[in-house]
Amino acid sequence: MSLPTPVRTPAPTSTHAPAPPRAAPTAAELLDFVRRTAADAALVASLPLDPQGRTWVRLEGPGGSEAWLIGWPPGTGTGWHDHGGSHGAFATAAGGLTEQSLAARLPTEGWKTLELAEGVDRQRKLTTGQGRAFGEHHVHQVLNESDETHAISVHAYYPPLPLMRRYSRTGAVLRLEQVERPEEWQ
């Protein structure tokens, strides 16, 4: 007795090619997103504000990015930090923010204290509607220097933040203080 010969049926074909993998959003695309989102008056107005501390709501960012709407009471700030190798952007939606940053690439491993060279400090003020993009090695702090007015901003990062390094600074000396993981702020 012989076994039947298997019949092969061709796989169904599709007239649609599979979608190409989505490219990671660039810093410029994140900047466009945060500016458009910061201009959404209804969204900005929906953020609950607390006079004692920052408030935030997580948003859906483009291309798998992580995004946040953040409220800043008068006199608050982030402290010096980086974004764990993610690039990103932020824009002011209401009020004004000051960004202080370092125009120097810091090593990511193997140090606790660094002495910064002269001339690496940068500062910019971002009023309503203004934003900025930054690269993966960006170290900065963001401040609401107003004595009376809340500020609100939109932030986006890609890839989603794997960690944040927090620093203290005394004069030209920058010290690594803490490494935070996403589960600590979500």
* pLDDT at residue 38, rounded to an integer: 98
**What gap in Å lies between CA 9 and CA 36, rounded to an integer?**
51
* pLDDT at residue 22, rounded to an integer: 66
- With 0-12 / 13-18 / 19 or more C-beta atoms within 10 angstroms meaning exposed / middle / buried, residue 58 is exposed
Grade residue 186 by pLDDT with cuts at 50, 70 and 90: low
pLDDT tens digits, 12-60 = 343 444 445 568 999 999 999 999 999 999 999 999 999 999 999 999 9
Look at residue 2 and tell me whether its pLDDT is greater than 70: no
* pLDDT at residue 21, rounded to an integer: 55
Q: Which residue has the higher pLDDT, 34 or 1?
A: 34
- 48 preceded by cis ω (within 30°)? no
* pLDDT at residue 12, rounded to an integer: 39
pTM to 2 decimals? 0.85
pLDDT tens digits, 107-148 = 878 899 999 999 999 999 999 999 999 999 999 999 999 999
Output the average pLDDT for the chain: 89
Q: Where are the domains of the chain?
A: 27-101+126-162
Alpha-helical segments (H) within the chain: 27-38, 41-46
CATH architecture, domain defined by 27-101+126-162: Sandwich (2.60)
